[in-house]
Structure 1
Amino acid sequence: MEGTASARPLSIWVVSDGRAGIENQALGLAEAVQRLTPAEIVVKRIQWRSLFDRLPSSLKTPSMLASTSDAVTAPPPDMWPDLWIATGRATLPLSARIKAWSGGRTFVVQTQDPRWAKPRYDLIVAPAHDGLSGDNVFEITGSPHRITPDRIAEAAPAFADRIAPLPHPRVAVLVGGRSKAFDLTEAHAADLADQIADAVRAAGGSLMLTFSRRTPEAAKAVMTARLSDLPGWIWDGTGDNPLFGFLHFADHILVTEDSANMAAEAASTGKPVHILPMVPLKSGDKFARLHDDLAERGATRPFDGTLESWTYEPLAETERAARAVLEAMGTR
């Protein structure tokens, strides 16, 4: 299908519960498909009524969707999408049935490990560190995302006035937070901030720092206090998110180890990615597999308090997954 002319563009529905970190996985994969073949993307956001949200996926029906959800069922026969790309638990009751509802018209792709009804999806694009296997499973390093060198270059001019004057090396720091596997305590955050400050000062560089929604307020406050005297920009959450600008202008990227998404996204830039340790809460075998993979590719190294530079081939896993989707659609 790639590179061939068709009577009309491929129609793609991107389906999620609307949370940015979830939606961007499906949307990133859809945009990668669109870069390979003409396509029209429609974003669909769904939520279940609170009374039914915790029901098993097998028991949920479209009548249980909240009134705020976008319409995703029962369109006219010729309006079903060619390609359905969905992410997240909320989408599973629909993804598992959409092929039957569309009369086989729609090719169904689910990202992440669905953990339910796996044979019902045409393709599962799963992180390799999850260890999922099956005839319909396509493994990638990390998760699909929207970061590409071209995309961050396009977004960069909006932030150039503030970032371009900053001294090199410019250090982008992406801080996560508490999860099932890791924590970011106030004491640990203070220690990380001191190490980062020492490295930036020693290099005569500048800082570009952004926190995630999971960053504890105490950790955010102590890091902001200890790093605010450095040249740079600590984004406080107001205004447009400068993440793409940070990634474009950075000479180094520091990422906390708790987020597979942030590490894989950073590794798509081709810039040195330094991994910041977190406080472990339980065995991190999955994360260890991911970080081992990224390190073997030459993308990441543990942060050792210095800003050593190195080069590697930028990861293009979302693009590779998009090619697999088109190949599978072409041979179905």
Structure 2
Amino acid sequence: MTSVATIGRERLTACHDGRAGNARQSLALAHAVSKQVDECVLQPGLLARMFAPHRWPHPSQPFGRAFEARLAQPPHIAIGCGRQAALATRLLRARGVRVAQILDPRLDPRLWDLLIVPEHDALRGGNVVTLRGSLHPVDDEYLMRALSAFPALALLPEPHSVVLVGGPSRHAAFELPAFVALLKQVAACARAEGGSLSVIASRRTPSAWRQAVYATESDLPGVRWRDTGDGANPYAGLLAYADRLVCTPDSVNMLSEAAATWAPLYLWSPATIVGRPRHFIDTLLACGRARAWDCSPQPFDVQPLRETARIARTVRERLFLQGSAD
């Protein structure tokens, strides 16, 4: 029997397709579960791209040589995220690997040992675990490392307001003038307080919004980051040093990471969000972890929302202690 003492020494493979969101979730959970993490970036062939997570007769190297090596020498545990990884974890499970799959694969949940899905998804079942938001690596250790990695941010005047920028999506139909108005509001607040303002774009941010980020109140101390052309990505440092976080509400991943910090979180125009992310935003507001941005924000007590550690405990309980030989 695998004992509690052996947890963290079993080999664990994190599978993903290289997409940033899938990679971040699978790796964050894997590292929270075990100290022996092996990353496998899948390289799907044509049939895998077409059929995953469904299987087809006699698949040959569906994900390239790196994955074939894992099939030849299976790990003890595998964690996957995304549609391609859902097929990869199915194939590994057929080799005796205990597997957890992140996000709804749209197939019978019994094909995996454990499924991990956001609360706003409808999937439920005996081996289905739900979480608020998404999985990520942000915890106190992450924030402490970021403080050390970005010491220059400590020199910015306080309070330090940080705006995390996503972009328009099918759930959030934002226009550029409204976004510019938000930046001006946060800048005015920072200036009135004698503080600083940092604004950081993301992969989803349109080019016109990036230009607005760069042009925001250039005389106000702080960081304006559009992409790697502006230097190393300061995202982790800004999360750690923020006295206030203001977020566009389009990304559950970004909101989940912001909610895991110790900074008060303010959401820009949360009522405009439609679709499944609406549930997570309503949860953040209802539990008091976030408030709507109102141009004159008042500080409030914060309890970080950190689901990764809770889900990791569940994975250990459900998969490590199922009775495999050590």
Matched with 1:125 is 116
Please identify, of 58-67 and 18-27, the stretch whose mean Cα deviation from structure 2 is larger: 58-67
1:113/1:303 CA distance change after superposition, 3 Å: same
Matched with 2:44 is 48
Residues 237-294 of structure 1: CA distance to partner in whole angstroms, max 9, x if unpaired? 22332111101111011111111111111111132010112795xx714222101211
Matched with 1:324 is 314
Counterpart contact for 1:183–1:278, Cα < 8 Å: no
Matched with 1:116 is 107
Residues 119-165 of structure 1: CA distance to partner in whole angstroms, max 9, x if unpaired? 2111111111223211111111111111112112112222112x111
Please identify, of 56-65 and 238-247, the stretch whose mean Cα deviation from structure 2 is larger: 56-65
Matched with 2:29 is 29
Counterpart contact for 1:171–1:206, Cα < 8 Å: yes
Take 1:189 and 1:50, find their aligned partners in 2: how far apart are those partners?
40
Matched with 1:143 is 134
Structure 1 segments unaligned to the other structure (5+ residues) = none
Structure 2 segments unaligned to the other structure (5+ residues) = none
Residues 12-62 of structure 1: CA distance to partner in whole angstroms, max 9, x if unpaired? 10110112221010111111113xxxx300111013235752345325675
Query: 1:9-28, aligned counterparts within 5 Å?
Result: 9-28=9-28
Take 2:238 and 2:63, find their aligned partners in 1: how far apart are those partners?
37
Matched with 2:295 is 305
Please give the secondary structure, in 1, of the residue aligned with 2:44. coil
Counterpart contact for 2:48–2:63, Cα < 8 Å: no
Q: Percent identity?
A: 34
The one of 87, 90, 96 aligned to 2:90 = 96
Counterpart contact for 2:29–2:308, Cα < 8 Å: yes
Take 2:31 and 2:151, find their aligned partners in 1: how far apart are those partners?
25
Matched, 1:253 2:252: no
Residues 47-87 of structure 1: CA distance to partner in whole angstroms, max 9, x if unpaired? 323575234532567536465x63245644xx311111110
Equivalences, count: 319
Amino acid at match of 1:12: L
Take 1:290 and 1:200, find their aligned partners in 2: how far apart are those partners?
28
Amino acid at match of 1:190: V
Matched with 1:57 is 53
Counterpart contact for 2:15–2:88, Cα < 8 Å: no
Amino acid at match of 1:89: R
Amino acid at match of 2:33: V
Take 2:150 and 2:178, find their aligned partners in 1: how far apart are those partners?
30
Please give the secondary structure, in 2, of the residue aligned with 1:125. strand
Matched with 2:236 is 244
Counterpart contact for 1:224–1:234, Cα < 8 Å: yes
Take 1:307 and 1:262, find their aligned partners in 2: how far apart are those partners?
20
1:2/1:298 CA distance change after superposition, 3 Å: farther
Take 1:51 and 1:107, find their aligned partners in 2: how far apart are those partners?
25
